[in-house]
Amino acid sequence: MSSKTPGKAHENSTQAAEAYGWTAAHRAQKVGVVGATGATGLELLDILMAAGHKSENVRAFARRDGALRVRDTDFRVTALARADWDDCDVVFLCTPSDLSRELAPKLVAARLPVIDLSSAYRMQADVPLVVPEINGDVLTRDHLLIANPNCTTAIACLPLAVIEAVCGLAEVIVVSFQAASGAGVPGLKTLQYEMRAAAGVPAAEEKPASPFAAPLALNVIPAIADVGPDGISGEERKVIDETRRILRRPDLVVEVTTTRVPVERCHSVAVHVRTQRDFSLPDLVARMAAAPGISVTDDPHGPRPRECAGTDAVAVGRIRAGTRGKGSLCFFAVGDQIRKGASLNALQVAARLSPRAGGVRGRPA
């Protein structure tokens, strides 16, 4: 039996439901979560429970039958081969890209709203790629399939969208520091095993198969995913392309280096930008602090992944003028990549859809 303990954010269901836009009508829906036993699937179930969704209105699917426990609630997991899609009102695909490509067309053909958390459809022109706080307005009544962004992209784009609105972006340079759990449960287990080994703690279990290109404990790996002939990694390409699409700036200069670091949870990004127009730094910081989905810290040594784990907002700090003249700006941002980088963002997207419980097909509000 798998288990998931509550995160730090929104322990009160009424507070969570209001924050996520998850209304009573949304809670009446039968929600399908495919890939329920993975990291993002478990987190999504946790968020649904935090928002007051009744467990009897959740359908959990995985590759095989099983059971799991989330917030003291037991869920039956149904093998995907036996899934009854007629018993769902909206479906979240917390699945690898190949499985999303297989399932999404079938579900859309059945007129089911689908939020896909994989990379399968993010750059498909007729599929919206949505961070609700930034571009939720792209949803129309014709969209049944909606793509959730790359986790690093979502974290970086929230503060970048504020800068774009205030003074326009001319150039963006991003270096990411991505947690082991970004590679799912295998990544987290690998880091934990390696850290115990580095500390001389005898292994209590067999060494897990590592998803990383090198040992991660006490190390930094300066590329994520395969590196192409142009020297750009797959993860870097995702951040470049998705940032341009979410910000609606196909012309934007974006340079990215993605790295894996020995942190359990939360991705961090160091961002350096040049803007199109001059800005007042105090005004920009105030606008950042007032933006939905963002918290600003004046801690000169923050924000930090350890303190941000399990929280909803993207924490932004070290906001300062750069040294490249007018229009130069730097900041550091941290976000829980399993929450805002994946499951929470997906739920917020679904909250923008008109609920379809009782057989009325969902549509964007």
Residues 308, 294: Cα–Cα separation, whole Å: 12
Residue 94 and residue 104 in contact, taking contact as beta carbons nearer than 8 Å: no
**Which residue has tokens 């964007």?**
364
Q: What is the pLDDT of residues 124-133, one digit of tens each?
A: 999 999 999 9
The answer to whether the bond into 186 is cis (omega within 30° of 0) is no
Binning the chain into helix, strand and coil, the percentages to the nearest 5 are 35, 25, 40
| Residue 256 dihedral angles phi and psi, to the nearest 5° | -135, 140
CB distance 279 to 286 below 8 Å:
no
Residue 151 annotated as catalytic: yes
pLDDT at res. 335: 98
The full set of domains in the chain, from first to last, is 2-149+343-364 (3.40.50.720), 153-337 (3.30.360.10)
Helix (H) or strand (E) holding 69: strand 66-70
Whole-number mean pLDDT of the chain?
Answer: 93
Instruction: Out of 88, 94, 151, 266, pick the active-site residue.
Output: 151
* pLDDT at site 9: 52
Q: What is the pLDDT of residues 258-311, one digit of tens each?
A: 999 999 999 999 999 999 999 999 999 999 999 999 999 999 999 999 999 999
Percent of the chain having pLDDT more than 90?
87
Q: Is the pLDDT of residue 143 over 80?
A: yes
Structure tokens at 275: 């803007």
Q: What ranges make up the beta strands (E) of 165-235?
A: 169-178
Q: Do strands 314-321 and 328-335 pair parallel, antiparallel, or not at all (unpaired)?
A: antiparallel
pLDDT of residue 180: 97
| Residue 356's pLDDT band (cuts 50, 70, 90) | confident
197 in Cβ contact with 217 (< 8 Å): yes
Q: CB of 322 within 8 A of CB of 328?
A: yes
- From the candidates 26, 157, 267, 308, which is the catalytic residue? 267
Peptide bond into 303 cis (omega under 30): yes
Q: Is 213 left (phi over 0), alpha (psi -120 to 50) or beta?
A: alpha
